[in-house]
Structure 1
Amino acid sequence: MSVRGRGSVGARGASVGVPGQWARPELPGEEADEFDWLAFEQSGVVTSRQAAESLGRATVRGLVRSGRWRAICHNVLLTGNGRLTRDQQLWVAVLASGSDAVLAGATAAAEAGVRGLRQEPLHVLIPANRQVSGILRRLPLDMPAVLVRRTTILPESHLQVGRPTRTSVARALADAAGWARSDDEARTVLAAGCQQRRTTAGEIRGVVAELPKLRRRPLILRTLDGIEGGAQALSELDFVALCRRFRLPLPELQQRRVDAGGRVRYLDAYWRRWRLHVEIDGAHHMDARRWAADLRRQNDIWIAGDRILRFPAWLVRSRPTEVADQLRAALVAGGWSADR
C-alpha cells in the first residue's frame, strides 16, 4: 500500500498485477488516511463493514466487480486479487469468526515462534456466548480450514498483543495439548514450547490452574512435572513415566557433563548416587557420524567408572517391562535396594 495520487499501488486501487500473485502491502505514506493504515495493519484483509464505512458500499462493490479487490467470503475482502499469504490467511480466520476472535492453540503458538507444530487447521478462540455463521464453511481453496472453539475463560492475562491478537504462549500450548489428536501429540506440543524456551512449565501450569475443564488436564499436569524435572523430548517423558510405573527411583535429566575432550555434553538420564547413566536414542542416532560420536561418549563414561545403558526410544514405549528389568538390575548392581 502506498500514498494515493503517486501512481503506485494503494488499498483503494490495488493493481491487478500478475494473476495469482500478491505482493506484501507497502508502508503507507504521509498522505495515507485511517483506512490505508487499517488495511496495511491487517495485511490487506478487511471486513466489508470496515471498507464500506470508509469508502462507501458502491465504491467497494466497484472494486470487487472490477477485479481489483477479491471477495474472500461473505464479509471479508482482500484489497488485492492474488493468492492469500500466510498472514492474510490468519486475518481471514479471525475476521470471518467475528468480533473478539483471537488466534489460539497451535496456530497462536506457531506465531509466537514455537517450531514443529501443525500448520493446519487454523485455530481460533471466541467467547462461549458468540455464534458463528456458516461463512467459515465457504472459504476459498487457498485458505486452510478454520476450527473455531469457544471458551468461558479468557482473561487479559491469557492474551498477547499481536497482529492479529492471539492467546499467550502458555495458554496456546495448554489449549493445543487439550485439542491435540493424541496424547503423544499433546505431550510433544508441551515439550516443544518449553524446550525452545518460548515459555516455561510453570507458566503453563499457572494457565491450567485457571482452566478446570481443560481436556487432558491430568495428562498435561503430569507432563509438566516431567518437563520441570528436566525432560526435553517425548522419549524422555516416556522414560520418566516408565520409572514411576515400575517404582524405580527417578533420575536427574539433562545433566551437564564435560567429556574427555573438554566439550560440554548433556546426559539424558543419570542416577548420580548409583553412577548409572541411560541414553535414549531416537532415529537420528542411526546416522553413522552420530553413532560414532555416541560410541566415543559412551567409552568416556565407562572409563570414568559409570555404568551406561542405551535404549532406542521405540523400545521404551513398546517394551517397558524389558527396559525396567534392565534398569532395576543396573541400579541394584550399583548399590540400590528396592526396600529403601
Structure 2
Amino acid sequence: MLPADDAAELDWLAFEQSGVLTTAQATGLFSEGMVRGRIRSGRWRSICRGILLTGNGRLTRDQQLWVAVLTVGPGAVLAGVTAATEAGVRGLRRDPLHVLVPAARRAARTTLRRLPIDMPAVRVHRASILPPTHVQRARPPRTTTARALVDAAGWANGVDEAQSLLAAGCQQRRVLPEELGEVLDVLPRAPRRQLIRQTVSDIAGGAQALSEIDFVRLCRRHRLPVPNLQEHRVDAAGRIRWLDAYWREWRVQAEIDGAHHMDVRQWAADMRRQNDVWTSGDRILRFPAWLVRARPDEVAEAIRRALMAAGWTPAPPRSAVPRG
C-alpha cells in the first residue's frame, strides 16, 4: 500500500524497493545495533551479505528482482529475458534472473552464489555500451524492451531460441522491428548481430512467427523467390483472410501450420478458412512447421515444382553462368 504523506523515510524506501534494502541503506536510517536487533528478533530477514528484507516471509517475485539488482551493486539493471518479461513479453523463461552492469565496474561473479533457497540464480552480464536511452526508469530499473530482446537473443542457448525471443516480442506487439534495429545500430559487437539483423528484417517483412522466419530462410538458402508474407485475400463471403506466404506473380500460396494444428477442431476450422479463400487458378501448398525445420530440402523441392509449374524459371547455377 502507498505510505501516508507523513510516513517515515523507511516506509517510503521499503515501498519503493518492495521491502528489500541494502545494509548501507538500513544503517543510514538506524544504528547498526538496531538493525541487528530487528534481524535477531525475526522482524527483519538477512537475505545475503549486504541485503536485508523488512519482513520475515518468503521472497515475492518483486523482491527477488530487487535482491538481484541490489546484490550486484550500483549501476545494475534487469536485462535480457528478465527485463523483457517485466515489460510484458509472455512465454519466456523466468529463471535465472539476468542483470546487466557497466563493463567498467567490477561486479560480482558471473553467477552469484550463497543466495537463499527462495531466490533464483542470478546471472551477471557486462556491457561496454549502455546509453541512457537503453535504460527504462522502473522499479527495479531495467533495460528497454528492445535492448532486452537484443541482449536475450545474444545470450540465448541456440539460434532457434534467439529467433523465438525476437519473434515473441514483435508478435505480442511489445516492440517494433525498427526499435530492435536501432538498438543494433549502436551495438557493433553484439553477439549474433548478423543473425539478429536478418531475423529483424524477416519480421519487418511480415514473418512474425518462428515457423515463418524459418520458411523465409529456407527460400533464401535454396535460391527460391522470397514470398510476400501475411498477404490478405478476400474469400467467397467477402471477408478478408490472411495467407502465411504468397508468391503473387505466380499465384502460389503456402500455409504453415503451427503446433496448434494438432487440435483436430482447430485444423478443421483452418481448412474451412483456406477453402473459403478465393483461389481461382491458385496453387495451394500446406506444410506443418516441424517439416519446414526438420526436412527443409523436401519442402523446398515442393515449392520449386509448384513455382515452375506456374511459370517461374530458376536462375542458372553460379558455375553455369558464362563469363564475359
Question: When the two structures are superposed, what TM-score results if normalisation uses the length of structure 2?
Answer: 0.93
Q: Quote the residue 1:122 is aligned against.
A: 97
Say if 2:2 is the partner of 1:32: no
Structure 1 residues 225-304: aligned runs within 5 Å? 225-301=201-277, 303-304=279-280
CA distance in 1 between counterparts of 2:279 and 2:192 reads 44
Conserved? CA contact 2:19–2:54, under 8 Å: yes
Write the distance in 1 (CA, Å) between the matches of 2:79 and 2:277: 45
In the alignment, the residues of structure 1 paired with residue 131 and residue 260 of structure 2 have an alpha-carbon distance, to the nearest angstrom, of 42
Unaligned runs of 5+ in 1: 1-25
CA shift, 1:303, in A, is: 4.9
Q: CA deviation at 1:136?
A: 2.8
Partners of 1:62 and 1:264 in 2: how far apart?
A: 69
Query: C-alpha separation between the residues in 1 aligned to 2:133 and 2:306?
Result: 47
Q: Is the 8 A contact 1:301 1:307 kept in 2?
A: no
Partner residue, 1:326: 302
- Could you say if the C-alpha distance between residues 114 and 339 of structure 1 is closer, same or farther in structure 2, counting changes exceeding 3 Å? same
The residue that corresponds to 1:175 in the other structure is 151
Could you list the runs of 5+ residues in structure 2 that have no partner in the other structure? 317-324
Q: What corresponds to 1:64 in structure 2?
A: 39
SS class of match (2:113)? helix
Residues of 2 paired with 1:189 and 1:161: CA distance? 23
Using the aligned pairs only, state the percent identity: 65
1:304, distance to aligned residue in structure 2 (A): 3.3
SS at match of 1:49: helix
In structure 1, the partner of 2:60 is 85
Question: Structure 1 residues 303 and 172, CA, compared in 2 at 3 Å: closer, same or farther?
Answer: closer
Residues 1:73 and 2:48 aligned together? yes
Q: What's the secondary structure of 2:242's corresponding residue?
A: strand
- Name the structure 1 match of 2:118: 142
On the 8 A contact 2:234/2:278 being kept in 1, the answer is no
Q: What's the offset of the Cα at 1:119? A: 0.4
Shift of 1:33: 2.2
Match of 1:23 in 2: none
Q: How many pairs were matched up? A: 315
Alignment counterpart, residue 49 of structure 1, candidates 6, 24, 30: 24
Query: Could you give the per-residue CA deviations for residues 115-160 of structure 1, whole angstroms, max 9, x where no partner exists?
Result: 1111010000001122234693011000000000111100011111
Alignment partner for residue 166 of structure 2, among 186, 190, 207?
Answer: 190
Q: 1:162 aligns with which of 138, 159, 162?
A: 138
TM-score normalised per structure 1: 0.89
Query: Runs of 4+ in structure 1 displaced over 4 angstroms?
Result: none
In the alignment, the residues of structure 2 paired with residue 143 and residue 263 of structure 1 have an alpha-carbon distance, to the nearest angstrom, of 51
Separation in 1, partners of 2:279, 2:15: 63
CA contact (8 A) 1:84 1:142 kept: yes
Q: 1:167 to 1:34 in 2, by over 3 A?
A: same
Contact 2:77 2:99 in 1 (8 A): yes
Task: For 1:198-217, list aligned pairs within 5 A.
Answer: 198-217=174-193
Superimposed CA distance per residue, residues 263-301 of structure 1 (whole angstroms, 9 cap, x where no aligned partner) = 443211011111111011122112111111122123224
**Amino acid in structure 2 at the alignment position of 1:275:** R
The two structures, once aligned, show a CA RMSD in angstroms of 1.5
Structure 2 CA distance for aligned equivalents of residues 339 and 183 of structure 1: 29
